[in-house]
């Protein structure tokens, strides 16, 4: 079953954001990740504090976890945390 990484993120450093985006793609490809959504959301109800929302699909939760814990992504975690504030969630699709 597919799994999804959902991120709410506010970039505080544009140069770091650009570097992160440039380096992210190859790490996702290696673990089967595909970006489905990346941008500023339109708030329909409630409040949304992060500036951007990102949704990345993986073939399974195992793929998502291996990507997140991979040596390829490890330096990007530090980069993202240095240049942004936000939250990341992982969830597997469960029908019903």
Domain with 17 in it: what CATH number? 3.30.70.100
Length of the chain: 96
Q: What is the pLDDT of residues 1-32, one digit of tens each?
A: 999 999 999 999 999 999 999 999 999 999 99
Tell me if 2 sits within 8 A of 83, measured CB to CB. Answer: no
pTM score = 0.92
Mean pLDDT within 51-56 = 95
Provide the 8-state DSSP code for 50. Answer: S
Asked, for residue 54, whether it belongs to a domain, the answer is no
Asked, for residue 90, whether it belongs to a domain, the answer is yes
Better pLDDT: 38 or 96? 38
Return mean pLDDT, the chain: 95
Q: What's the start-to-end Cα distance of the chain, in Å?
A: 13
Please tell me the total count of domains within the chain.
1
Residue 33 reports pLDDT greater than 80: yes
Asked, for residue 20, whether it belongs to a domain, the answer is yes
Residue 75's domain comprises: 1-42+66-96
Asked, for residue 18, whether it belongs to a domain, the answer is yes
């Amino acid at each position: 079953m597919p799994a999804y990484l959902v991120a709410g993120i506010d970039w505080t450093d544009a140069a770091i954001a650009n570097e992160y985006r440039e380096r992210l793609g190859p790490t996702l490809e290696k673990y089967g990740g595909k970006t489905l959504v990346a941008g500023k959301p339109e708030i329909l109800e409630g409040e949304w504090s992060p500036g951007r929302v990102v949704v990345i699909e993986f073939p399974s939760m195992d793929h998502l976890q291996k990507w997140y814990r991979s040596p390829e992504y490890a330096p990007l975690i530090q980069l993202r945390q240095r240049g942004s504030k936000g939250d990341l969630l992982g969830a597997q699709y469960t029908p019903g």
